[in-house]
């Protein structure tokens, strides 16, 4: 199952995947990005995020899933790592190993660790991550500050 880096021509499908993910997470009303700005941040001269695309061999040209990620750095490990912001596979393509392929490719892009957050109710995602060796980070709570636009 081929996994590849996203191209600028994938932007519309990536945006669709993000909206589908937000629907799945029951948070569609929170999606407020501008596609042109998104393009700049992912495909511009100084990208701050990257997207891996899952394109099943049986369905060439179909974007079945994605992993949106960016680089991090661990002072304790002393090496760069990866933060997995979003991992999403369309419903029709689940249970075909696409999420696993995306995670395997992501692991090759980190010298340190891969980190992520998962919704408390998403037990199937937790099970997938745990099969890959991910473990909850005990004693930590995620905080967020967000600029008001």
Q: Which domains does the chain have, with CATH numbers?
A: 3-131 (3.40.630.30)
Q: To which residue do tokens 């937790």 refer?
A: 126
Confidence of residue 112 (pLDDT cuts 50, 70, 90): confident
Q: How many CB atoms lie within 10 A of CB 13?
A: 16
43-98 residue pLDDT tens: 999 999 999 999 988 888 889 999 999 999 999 989 999 999 999 999 999 988 99
- Give the helix/strand (H/E) hosting 69: strand 65-74
Closest by CA to 53, choosing from 82, 13, 85, is 13
Q: Would you say residue 149 has pLDDT above 80?
A: no
Rounded (10°) angle between helices 98-108 and 123-131: 50
Task: Name 70's bridge partners.
Answer: 83
* 70 classed as catalytic: no
Measured CA to CA in angstroms, residue 31 lies from 52, 68, 107, 111 at distances of 20, 15, 28, 31
Nearest to 68 by CA among 45, 93, 43, 91: 43
Strand 50-54 to 3-5 pairing: antiparallel
pTM of the model: 0.91
Residue of 65, 129, 137, 139 with catalytic role = 129
pLDDT of residue 146: 79
Residue 145 pLDDT: 83
pLDDT value at position 83?
A: 95
* Residue whose tokens read 């680089």: 71
């Amino acid at each position: 199952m081929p996994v590849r880096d996203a191209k600028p021509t994938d932007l519309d499908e990536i945006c669709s995947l993000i909206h589908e993910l937000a629907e799945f997470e029951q948070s569609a009303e929170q999606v407020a990005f501008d596609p042109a700005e998104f393009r700049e941040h992912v495909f511009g001269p100084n990208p701050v995020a990257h997207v891996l695309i899952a394109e099943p061999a049986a369905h060439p040209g179909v974007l079945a899933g994605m992993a949106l990620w960016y680089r991090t750095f661990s002072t304790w490990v002393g090496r760069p790592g990866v933060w997995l912001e979003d991992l999403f596979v369309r419903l029709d393509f689940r249970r075909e190993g696409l999420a696993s392929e995306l995670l395997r490719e992501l692991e090759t892009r980190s010298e340190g660790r891969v980190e992520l957050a998962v919704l408390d109710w998403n037990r199937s995602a937790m099970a997938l991550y745990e099969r890959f060796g991910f473990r909850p980070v005990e004693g930590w709570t995620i905080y967020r500050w967000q600029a008001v636009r």
